[in-house]
Structure formats: C-alpha cells, structure tokens
Structure 1
C-alpha cells in the first residue's frame, strides 16, 4: 500500500515536471525566422542604424496604442524576456519601442497588457514621453503574442495520518522537495509556499 502511494506520487511529480518544461518553448507566433533574434534594446539604441533590417524580439507592457492609416502602433515599455519569450514580471523597463502592426487593433484590448512582438528593426524615431523628448526604436512587427498571467500557489502534498512511515529514501526526497518550495523572496524572507506566475 505504501509503495503504491509512493509510486503514484512519483509519477504525478514526473508528469507535472514534463508539463512545465513543455510550457517553456517559444510560441509559434513570435518565434520569427532567426534562431537568435536581437533582444538587447540598449545595444540597438546605441547605434540603431547598424541594426536596420535585422530581426528582433521584444516584450513588455503596452503603454499606448495609436490607430493609424492601415496599421496600429503599440508603444511598449520593454523588459527582459525569459526563455519562453515572456516578459519577466517585476523587472525595470529597459526602454520603449514603437511596434507597428498591420491592420486595426482595438486599444481597449491592448493598452496595459503584457505582449511580446517579433519583427524587423526599421530604425529610430523621435517621440515624447509626456512632455519629454524620447528616441524610440521602431519595429515592423510580423508576429505578436498577448499574455495573460494567472498566479498559482503550490502546496506541499498532504500526509496520511494513518500512514506508519515512508521508506527512508522517500523521506529524504520529500524533504528535499519541500526545501525547494521555500525560495528566498526579494526582501530576504522565506516563503512557505511557492507562488508562480503562469502565462497563457
């Protein structure tokens, strides 16, 4: 009986790990054609003319939406991307870009949302943030992904009160797993449960 419970738990953890690794891949809509699209906005803005025509991928929060003739311009406050090309929450903005998307996008659906865009660098253009002049990198977008974020809390598995005790190896594995659920937070305090952000 105890062995069966242990095997079931082990298989469940294995299936969960496989499911989570499957979520790391970059969605087709923002893969692009280059194996390594440019993602360093600071480097591009130091010499934008050198990167014109190159493929790039950036993501962050849509600050403003401008509907223009035949296209929509998204003003994005960019942040670093993770291995799945998702904006990393909590990071400071690396700068702003204009992402031009063909067709009409409703501002209500995009303003304030997290997004990743891929396309060709078209150069830089002067604009403003409030009343302050600002140089924006312009991206001719050929793909984008709008992200929705759901927060998940993972709890440790329950312990059966009628269970006499697991195999010593199972105890070691369980304690190791439990320790991994207690990451350091930014303030330095321990978190009793793992809180993760799930994108879709």
Structure 2
C-alpha cells in the first residue's frame, strides 16, 4: 500500500468520525467561545449605560461625583450592621466586562457601601461582591490606625461572586482532526514531535456566579 493511499484512508477515517479527544477538544473550545460572550447581570446593571467605575478619580474629588451612578466591586474587608442598614467596607478591584472583580489586578483603594436592611456578616465577610448605586459623598475612617477617606455608595443592587478553579485545555490540543495513529504518514515537516501528545492541562482560578 502506498503512502498516498494510506494517507487518504487516514483522512477519510477522520472525516467520517472524530476521535473522542477531538470531540472533547471541540466541546471545550465551544465553551470558551461562549464564555467570551459576557453581559452584566441584571442585579448590578443599573440604569446608566456608563456608570462611574474609576475609584481613583472619585477619591480625588468625591463631591464632584455625588449623585452619579457607580459600579464598583472587590472583596469585603469589614461588615457592620446598623439600625436599618449594613455597612460594607470593600477593597475594590477593577471589573471585567461582566462586572466581576479581576483577581489579577491590584486594588484601587477602599470604599464604603451602605445596603438597606440586614446582611449576615458570616455569609458576606471576605466574599467578592459588586455593587451599583449613586455616590453620596465620603466619610472619614481608619484602616488600622491610619486615617482614610472612604468614598460612599448607596447600594441599589449587588451581586456576590464565587471563586472556582477550572481546567483549561492547551491550545495545541484544539485540533479535532488529529489522530496519533497517523502521525507518520504526512511526510517532511509532519513527523514525530509535531503535536506528538498533548501538553498538560492547566488549572486557572476564575470568578463566577
């Protein structure tokens, strides 16, 4: 049997039925594409198409932004229940397109967010959250013994997030037509070493609902 004939048979077998690895690769690729189509959840969408999200700018002149709708997120460093509301102290992080805090970015500072009603401290402390609502000004406080001016937000909506780990398929494993049984039939440039086995699966930490 000639190499050309054998190669044609290999191609036909791949065209008529993918390997299990090929289907898995295609599924993971499809999921990654779908995950790229993100939208802001209704709870934190607000009413403005361009809410204020630059905390550093607001911190420089809080009074200029009073009444402006904002969207900030990060990790809850402290929670305190008051008579009719709950005070959240949030270590802010930049947000992605879906309003999720980005764990790979440094904090922009802290703010205070007031939520109407009671929130259970055990459930909220150290959790990731995004809030939306108008900026109402600033208040003086401390971080440890250091004085600090907190931007204040009246929360009209919030969203809690979870941190999970997920497996990511390496890019070289995305070819659904590849079958290791035929790796020697393609001639020069396609011999051993070209896609000869898959790279290790990577694990990454992501923020999700």
| TM-score normalised by structure 2 residue count | 0.76
Task: Please give the per-residue CA displacement for 1:10-49, whole angstroms capped at 9, x wherever unaligned.
Answer: 7535532343124x21111001100111000110111111
Describe the shift of the 1:140–1:198 C-alpha distance in structure 2 as closer, same or farther (beyond 3 A). closer
- C-alpha separation between the residues in 2 aligned to 1:118 and 1:166? 58
Q: Secondary structure at the match of 1:101?
A: strand
The match for 2:167 is 153
Q: Secondary structure at the match of 2:34?
A: helix
Indicate the structure (1 or 2) with the bigger Cα radius of gyration.
2
The match for 2:153 is 139
- How many matched pairs? 181
Q: Which structure is richer in relative contact order (CA contacts within 8 A, separation 6 or more)? A: 2
The match for 1:186 is none
Task: Please give the per-residue CA displacement for 1:24-83, whole angstroms capped at 9, x wherever unaligned.
Answer: 211110011001110001101111111000000001110000101111010001111111
The match for 1:17 is 32
Conservation of the 8 A alpha-carbon contact between 1:2 and 1:166? no
- C-alpha separation between the residues in 1 aligned to 2:148 and 2:34? 42
Describe the shift of the 1:166–1:196 C-alpha distance in structure 2 as closer, same or farther (beyond 3 A). farther
The match for 1:164 is 182
List structure 1 segments (4+ residues) > 6 angstroms apart after TM superposition: none
Gaps in structure 2 of 5+ consecutive residues: 1-12
| TM-score normalised by structure 1 residue count | 0.79
| RMSD value, Cα | 2.9
Describe the shift of the 1:107–1:167 C-alpha distance in structure 2 as closer, same or farther (beyond 3 A). farther
The match for 1:81 is 95
Q: How does 1:1-200 map onto structure 2 within 5 Å? A: 1-3=13-15, 4-5=17-18, 8=23, 12-13=27-28, 15-22=30-37, 24-156=38-170, 157=173, 160-161=179-180, 163-165=181-183, 193=202, 195-200=204-209
Q: Secondary structure at the match of 2:107?
A: coil
